Structure 1
Amino acid sequence: MAVKSFQGKRAEPEKPAEPAMLVEDYMSTSLITFRKEEKVVDVIEKLIENNISGGPVVNENDELLGIISEGDCLKQISDSRYYNMPMEDLTVEKHMTCNVETIDGKMNVLDAAKKFIELKRRRFPILQDGKLVGQISQRDVLRAALQLKGDTWWG
């Protein structure tokens, strides 16, 4: 005769909860921003002075208009030299990237990492109520990952 167990089904062991690591906790909020009427030459100076590779272009209400990057500036230097055109008159408005992908500040940083890989971007602006409130870079995500070291999937 078989013995029946009355213990019932055992619960799965609980995995430790992953810490809430939100983009808004790692994004930069002190941003170097640019205006559409700024000269590309001035942008180049700011990029070098501040050791950054690009930044958001905003209007007077801090609404995002685009992004200007080192790559955008390099293209203008190259075109200017090739066509023997002066750079003094080049403005951000004509040379910025306008179709800018943004992410939500409430997104998990590790999900943001995946988005960086998929979209091959160096930075994502974060908007709140239509206004620029921050920016997250690949370096910010790496900083967040270091905090996980030893806690979960890392070593």
Structure 2
Amino acid sequence: MGIINFQGKRDKSASKPVEQILVSDYMTTKLITFRPEQTIQEVIETLIKNRISGGPVVNEKNELIGIISEGDCIKHISESKYYNMPMDRSHSVENNMITEVETIDKNMNIFDAANKFISSRRRRFPIIENGKLVGQISQKDILKAALKMKGNRWK
């Protein structure tokens, strides 16, 4: 004996179209950036002052050339202490930044961006447009987007 559906035929037009939520809706565009010639000391002071964990490194044309993070700064401090040397104030960002940087398209769906965060274990992704840095999205931005969503978008 089969299962009988007592609800009748469902009207498919009753469902609302799902609105796309894009990275560009939640990305940060006012960024604190660093230059390759800045010292690690300057980066540490900026990170602490602005309560951030890292930031993009750009050249004079605002092109992304790397990312510097708290971890990169800690690594530099640790190496200085290991060799019982004072932290070299002239040591530059260029020598300590990560140069292989993954980016995200600003037109990417926020759910796809969340999956990229999960799979890559990154804290932030820069957003590039026409070769220039235009913004950044962080894990916290994804959480902000999740709080503003209504239940019917979670499919």
TM-score by length of 2: 0.88
Equivalent-residue separation in structure 2 for 1:94 and 1:70 (angstroms): 14
Equivalent-residue separation in structure 1 for 2:17 and 2:104 (angstroms): 24
Structure 1 runs, 4 residues or longer, greater than 4 Å off = none
Match of 1:152, as an amino acid? R
Q: Is the radius of gyration larger for structure 1 or structure 2?
A: 1
Equivalent-residue separation in structure 2 for 1:37 and 1:72 (angstroms): 15
Q: What SS does structure 2 have at the residue aligned with 1:99?
A: coil
Equivalent-residue separation in structure 2 for 1:45 and 1:72 (angstroms): 14
Please state if 1:30 is matched with 2:30: yes
Q: C-alpha displacement at 1:20, in angstroms?
A: 1.7
Query: What stretches of structure 2 of length at least 5 have no aligned partner?
Result: 1-8
Query: What stretches of structure 1 of length at least 5 have no aligned partner?
Result: 1-9
Equivalent-residue separation in structure 2 for 1:130 and 1:153 (angstroms): 33
Q: C-alpha displacement at 1:81, in angstroms?
A: 0.5
TM-score by length of 1: 0.88
Match of 2:120, as an amino acid? L
Match of 1:100, as an amino acid? V
**What count of residue pairs does the alignment treat as equivalent?**
145
Q: C-alpha displacement at 1:67, in angstroms?
A: 0.1
Match of 1:82 in 2: 82
Percent pairwise identity:
59
Equivalent-residue separation in structure 2 for 1:132 and 1:92 (angstroms): 18
Match of 2:40, as an amino acid? V
Equivalent-residue separation in structure 1 for 2:21 and 2:129 (angstroms): 18
CA deviation profile, 1:75-124 (whole Å, cap 9, x unmatched)? 01111111123321211000000000001000011110000000000000
Match of 2:6 in 1: none
CA deviation profile, 1:113-138 (whole Å, cap 9, x unmatched)? 00000000000000000000000000
Q: C-alpha displacement at 1:69, in angstroms?
A: 0.2
Q: What SS does structure 1 have at the residue aligned with 2:38?
A: coil
